Amino acid sequence: MRKIAIIGGTGIYSPEALNGFEQKIVETPYGQALCNIGHMAGNQVIFITRHGVGHKTPPHKVNYRANIWALKSLGTEEIFATTAVGSLNPEMKAGHFVVCDNVLDFTKSRINTFYDTPERGVVHADFSYPYCPALREKVIKCLEKTDISFHKHGVYVATEGPRFESAAEIKMFAMLGGDVVGMTNMPEAILAREAEMCYTNCSIVTNMAAGISPTPLSHSEVVEAMGRSIQNMEKLITAFIAYNEPAEASCGCHEALKEFGGFKL
């Protein structure tokens, strides 16, 4: 039995396939996390709405540590996260899915580690490749069986928010190799690595980024674009949960902190 978590970003609040799940508030050292727990295709599945019910939590205020700690405490081994993004790459158009393979982190005020107290000690986790190659392979295999337009590679630029980026920032990110830009994938990805869980992201392009888009950016534009892609994402989530073929790619996610004695709750 696989133990899977789905972290739903903007627009992915309560997939129909997860109806009937039990809602549970998990207490953590960092606060509470609201989890929906159930079973699908013989696997344990936990669903977390990143921005909360009704999209009330802005990206820089999401309690990433509580969410990841809660998933670890519930036995999660695989995390599939969704994000809504703007595109810096003209080949990545609205409605396209991007299975990201690396990150540029431009967040500023977020605590991005579990190891920031004398009690927890000091840890330096390898983050050369932020997304689990085995999970990325599963997502790509699932997408290849659909008619969804997608890209197998992409660099996710994580910004602080909640404002959208300036045109000059977008130009800089593109020069640095960024493909898509969003506000939520960090520190979520590094916390999952510290907690020794496999983590992957699939981004949905909702718009072209600032300075590329011919019109001013708006949150309503993002939500409307997500509305057109929700069915595709729910189809992908269902396929990912049911996926039962062994991955050819290997990973060391579950031993990421072996040098430091492993992650301890």
Look up the CATH number of the domain holding residue 232: 3.40.50.1580
What pLDDT does 246 receive? 81
What pLDDT does 223 receive? 63
**Are 88 and 174 spatial neighbours (Cβ–Cβ below 8 Å)?**
yes
Q: How many domains does the chain have?
A: 1
What pLDDT does 208 receive? 82
Closest to 197 (Cα-Cα) out of 154, 257, 137, 156: 257
Instruction: Provide the pLDDT confidence category of residue 56 given band limits of 50, 70 and 90.
Output: confident
Q: Is residue 74 part of a domain?
A: yes
- Model pLDDT for residues 195-234, shown as the tens digit of each residue: 999 999 999 998 888 667 666 656 666 666 566 678 899 8
- Model pLDDT for residues 122-140, shown as the tens digit of each residue: 999 999 999 999 999 999 9
DSSP state of 1: -
Q: Is residue 199 part of a domain?
A: yes
- Please check the confidence at residue 11 and state whether its pLDDT lies above 60: no
Dihedral sign from CA coordinates of 38, 230, 193, 182: negative
Q: Is residue 47 part of a domain?
A: yes
CA distance 179 to 80: 20
Q: Which residue has the tokens 């809504």?
A: 84
Q: Is residue 197 part of a domain?
A: yes
Instruction: Provide the pLDDT confidence category of residue 242 given band limits of 50, 70 and 90.
Output: very high
Q: Is residue 265 part of a domain?
A: no
**Are 52 and 67 spatial neighbours (Cβ–Cβ below 8 Å)?**
no
Taking the whole predicted model, whether its pTM rises above 0.85 is answered as yes
Cis bond upstream, residue 130 (ω within 30): no
Closest to 65 (Cα-Cα) out of 188, 194, 193: 188
**Are 195 and 68 spatial neighbours (Cβ–Cβ below 8 Å)?**
yes
Query: Percentage of the chain with pLDDT > 70?
Result: 88
Q: Is residue 117 part of a domain?
A: yes
Range of the domain at 171: 3-260
Dihedral sign from CA coordinates of 219, 140, 145, 82: negative
CA distance 265 to 263: 7
